[in-house]
Structure 1
Amino acid sequence: MRRFTAALAIPAALGAVLTAAPAQAHPGRPPGIENCTATVCHFDVPPGTYDVTVRLGGATASSTRITGETRRSLLPETAVAAGAHVSRSFTVDVRTPEGEPTGPDGTPGLDLALGGSAPALAGIRVTPARHARQIILIGDSTVCDQPADPYSGWGQQLPQYLRKGLSVANYADSGESTVTYLQNPRLWDTVQPRIRPGDLVLVQLAHNDKTTDEATYRANLETLVAGIRAQGGRPVLVTPVVRRWFNADGTLDNDTALLVNGLGVDHPAVIRSVAAAGHVPLIDLTAKTKALVESLGVEGSKPVYLSSEKRDNTHTSVHGATLYAGLVRDELLARHLVPEGTVRMG
């Protein structure tokens, strides 16, 4: 977790603020702040879904962003004028393991990190979420909560676009195909029982189905859709993000970029077909990311991926994952899959 140097802006009186973890009171400090250092707030809570309300600002101009757990972006950078305060709320999923389902357990409880160019936290409240809706993500390394810089999955950046009442439970896992996700008991067998009636479940699996034949790939997607529906969830199929492999003419119209495997299986085409046949909402992220990458061009698209840092044209940077999460947010709204009031546009 990245550390930031900052001073907490703490007013003499904030009013009644609830805290999720007991701690010693400090005169002149609002309850909740005692769970925070200059850079991190820790709340000793069990796994579950929690609403977080923060009060930002202080005597000088500030700019604060908040990440949590395994580098999840929970609140975009928020500027506050000198002497002013603003309140922002979001809902966060706390679980074990806190990142990838097959990764380490992580730190118990809820950890929030303060970042931004001039962070200032004046107050914080953490309470169990009573009526939160859930977006569950099933995917691969381009979606997952990546444990370390410079990598980031788009699912790791999606929470910052959502307001209180809608959380992201990211069960994407690096290296998984439709075959391995269904076979590994730490993945599908663990995730399926956690789907609640009404939950959105976004499925993006394709990058690692390099040796999966079309019939098997189609059947696996249908199995996931049926299993989500059996729990009362709402499946959404997502075509994979493109790889940054350009043709000489500046387009991405080649098998590597557009996820056509060595057996000739056109993964996005199969996903579109399964969605149409099963009346499943579709987010065509292949088309959206292709258009964005081509518009940026060969050089302009490098910062979206890890082309310069790792010679990696498959995995995205924090910048790229944030752009792609924005595309997912836009599609969720356009297809009326989430209410407008639960989404941040800035």
Structure 2
Amino acid sequence: MKAFALIALAAAMSAAPAPAEPLWRLSLDGSGAKQGFVPVPAGQPYRAGGAGYEPGSRADALLLSAAVPEGLYRVTVTFGVGHTTVKAESRRLMLLDVTARPGRSVTRSFLVAVRTPALTPPPLNAPGGDHVRLGAAEAKVPDWDDRLTLEFLGQPRVKTVTIEPATAPTLFLAGDSTVTDQPSEPAASWGQMLPALLDDKVAVANHAWSGETMKSFLSGLRLDKLLSQAKAGDWLLIQFGHNDQKAQWPQTYVDPVHTYPAYLKAYIAEAQRRGITPVLVTPPERRNFGADGKLVGTLDEYVAAMRKVAAEEHVALVDLNAASRAIYEALGPARSPLAFNDGGRDRTHNDNYGAWLLANAVAEQLAKVDPSLAAHIAPGAVHFDPAKPPLPEQVRIPESVARSSARPAGN
């Protein structure tokens, strides 16, 4: 499968289709008027079908939205003097601390996947549905709306923004709350940090959501939506286990001996028949420390089952469980990242710092299991050592505008 992925990626890169006409050329500082850029003056609110700022925007945190159809987009931003971090949609980290010095502007590009809940309706009398089955809370997050939202944090001095349709190899993510784009602070997951560790030649489409299991991801038509957007040469990263193990959830419980391996193999088959490369990701461990300072395993049966399936099916495995154990034990109980100020009761989820560490661990292993991706992963991630993680003061990720202490639904 590695050879196939390498060939497919090379073909996608070399195809070089004629560049699409940009949907938006936006000027945030008044520059670019002569080049056909549309001015977006400070305070101009977003209106349906247009471009403007979302509520909550302020001097150190701009929330800019532009109406776009579902698809993949290349966003090119020119920065003036300052330090700017860029997030997209539900706080996906795209660029971390872009620095522009006096006398020089800086231009950077990245890829953003935009989706809606809509699905092609099934034929008459066929089972299925015409939309992903979202809960009331999820239906309100930016990942599913009719626009592309960008968040500029820090000392944002954005000059221009260009948004144009793109085609690129894509990493699709299927999983639960430890993977999803968490919509509000302080929670964060590795999937929403991963885009910042890739260059602008490979995209990330994160379809994970809180509370999901391998069963519910199917019954909610999430896998259908994901597969409707994926193409040959893409990747499907599959990480489940935290909610699958909940026997108290009878409709979605997936036991580690029979159903968990069977569902993994079904996901693998659905990907492979479409020319998509499946990658299994073992679920990160919960932060339950024993008296010896080592983590107490809570997912061991599921991790072992996933490793066995990867070997049997000859598919790539990212052992995030092992990497997370190394990270948390290196930091120790006192410094292990906690997403919620609840006295340490939540030992599963992460804050921005913890999510960044796990994303680096995933990227480091992706570079090893699939050489076609190595050249597109940030050097710092390629050489990341889980046993020697950077300390919190070395990882500064600005918080987003919208903040909430609410716990995500499920683990």
Q: Within 5 Å, which residues of 2 pair with 1:116-135?
A: 116=154, 118-129=155-166, 131-135=167-171
1:78 aligns with 2:98: yes
Alpha-carbon distance in 2 for matches of 1:229, 1:335:
17
- Alignment gaps of 5+ in structure 2: 1-20, 41-50, 54-58, 119-131, 248-253, 381-411
Alpha carbons of 1:47 and 1:25: their partners in 2 closer, same or farther (altered >3 Å)?
A: same
Alpha-carbon distance in 2 for matches of 1:33, 1:133:
32
1:330 aligns with 2:364: yes
Identify which of 45, 48, 56 aligns with 2:68.
45
What letter matches 1:134 in structure 2?
T
1:53 offset after TM fit, Å? 1.2
Alpha-carbon distance in 1 for matches of 2:291, 2:27:
65
Alpha-carbon distance in 2 for matches of 1:274, 1:280:
8
Matched residue SS, 1:70: coil
Alpha carbons of 1:310 and 1:299: their partners in 2 closer, same or farther (altered >3 Å)?
A: closer
Matched residue SS, 1:168: strand
- The TM-score normalised by the length of structure 2 is 0.71
Contact 1:244 1:305 in 2 (8 A): no
Identify which of 89, 95, 102 aligns with 2:109.
89
1:54 — aligned with what? 77
Alpha-carbon distance in 1 for matches of 2:161, 2:30:
16
Matched residue SS, 1:342: coil
Contact 2:283 2:320 in 1 (8 A): yes
Q: Within 5 Å, which residues of 2 pair with 1:52-201?
A: 52-58=75-81, 62-97=82-117, 102=134, 103-104=138-139, 106=142, 107-116=145-154, 118-129=155-166, 131-185=167-221, 187-201=222-236
- Structure 1 residues 292-346: Cα deviation after superposition (integer angstroms, max 9, x where no partner): 1000001011x35436566311011111111111111111112235434422345
Tell me whether 190-199 or 147-156 shows the greater mean CA deviation. Answer: 190-199
Alpha carbons of 1:81 and 1:227: their partners in 2 closer, same or farther (altered >3 Å)?
A: same
What letter matches 1:255 in structure 2?
G
Matched residue SS, 2:139: coil
Alpha carbons of 1:82 and 1:308: their partners in 2 closer, same or farther (altered >3 Å)?
A: farther
Tell me whether 310-319 or 331-340 shows the greater mean CA deviation. Answer: 331-340
Contact 2:188 2:339 in 1 (8 A): no
What letter matches 2:350 in structure 1?
T
Q: Within 5 Å, which residues of 2 pair with 1:12-27?
A: 20-21=23-24
Alpha-carbon distance in 1 for matches of 2:26, 2:334:
52
Alpha-carbon distance in 2 for matches of 1:41, 1:146:
19
Identify which of 305, 328, 339 aligns with 2:373.
339
1:168 offset after TM fit, Å? 0.9
Alpha-carbon distance in 2 for matches of 1:293, 1:29:
48
1:300 — aligned with what? 335
Higher relative contact order (CA 8 A, sep 6+): 2
- The TM-score normalised by the length of structure 1 is 0.83
Alpha-carbon distance in 1 for matches of 2:352, 2:29:
37
1:188 offset after TM fit, Å? 2.0
What letter matches 2:275 in structure 1?
G
1:101 offset after TM fit, Å? 7.2
Alpha-carbon distance in 1 for matches of 2:277, 2:193:
21
Tell me whether 131-140 or 205-214 shows the greater mean CA deviation. Answer: 205-214
Tell me whether 188-197 or 267-276 shows the greater mean CA deviation. Answer: 188-197
- Structure 1 residues 69-95: Cα deviation after superposition (integer angstroms, max 9, x where no partner): 111111111122222222111111011
Contact 1:101 1:172 in 2 (8 A): no
- Percent of residue pairs bearing the same amino acid type: 36
